[in-house]
Chains A and B, each alone.
Chain A
Amino acid sequence: AAGVIQSPRHLIKEKRETATLKCYPIPRHDTVYWYQQGPGQDPQFLISFYEKMQSDKGSIPDRFSAQQFSDYHSELNMSSLELGDSALYFCASSFSNNSPLHFGNGTRLTVT
């Protein structure tokens, strides 16, 4: 069965650089979520999209932005990167309220 695909798997950036993370949800899933998980922490919700419209916003810094495209893939754009942005970034997708969230394998971002 198709799963949520995230790219890249690993990303190393320097401070003040920009990064773009991509997420391809499971086909026919109508909602995409972005989470940030720091070392030893639970995932922190950043933002979600339902049918290509932003549906909920969490603790996403102003330096970050995200969007969902017509093919339902989503991108998380991160600018002016800081050391504290180093984390595992998960994308998840779901279909309606009746299905659980299915997570991608995550993108590990390291900011040096």
Chain B
Amino acid sequence: AQTVTQSQPEMSVQEAETVTLSCTYDTSESDYYLFWYKQPPSRQMILVIRQEAYKQQNATENRFSVNFQKAAKSFSLKISDSQLGDAAMYFCAYRSVNAGNNRKLIWGLGTSLAVNP
């Protein structure tokens, strides 16, 4: 069974600085998807970025980028030029590409990010 681990329950960053949230996972599959979701105080679940395991290039979405290390099973999220609106709970998630079943997301426990003005 796949597992996702976020070892940092809480992080903080100064506004305009850069922060990296870590995520490791365990799987025996060779192809899968990885996601970072953001959950602000409103409790919405917002997709931040996704990575396809077969792509070596790290995904980037504006100020958000990932460092995907497939061999190490690591998928960290880097937030550049942090803004107050980035303050949220960040969840790392894994998804199998197995078309048979298990399309559900497997979640880490989340990292609460505080952005200090």
A71 within 8 A of B: no
Most A-side CB within 10 Å, residue of B43, B91, B98, B109: B43
Cβ contact within 8 Å between A42 and B109: yes
Instruction: Name the distance in Å between B90's Cβ and chain A's nearest Cβ.
Output: 11
Residues A100 and B104 in contact, CB atoms below 8 Å apart: no
CB–CB B43/A56 < 8 A:
no
* Residues of A78-104 whose CB lies within 8 A of B: 88, 90, 92, 94, 97, 100-103
- B83-117 CB contacts (< 8 Å) to partner A: 91, 95, 97-99, 101-105, 107-110
Closest to B93 in A: A101
A65 sits at the interface (CB 8 A): no
How many residue pairs link A and B with beta carbons under 8 A? The number is: 59
On whether the beta carbons of A43 and B45 are closer than 8 Å, the reply is yes
Q: List 9 A-B contacts (CB under 8 A).
A: A33-B103, A43-B45, A43-B105, A56-B104, A97-B33, A100-B35, A100-B95, A105-B43, A106-B44
Given A97-B97, A103-B44, A105-B42, output 13 extra A-B contacts at Cβ < 8 Å.
Answer: A37-B43, A42-B91, A43-B91, A43-B107, A45-B105, A48-B104, A50-B103, A56-B103, A92-B45, A97-B33, A101-B35, A101-B47, A103-B37
Chain A residues touching B, majority SS: strand
When the two chains form their complex, are residues A106 and B101 in contact, meaning their CB atoms are under 8 A apart? no
Hey, which chain A residues are within 8 Å of B98, CB to CB?
97
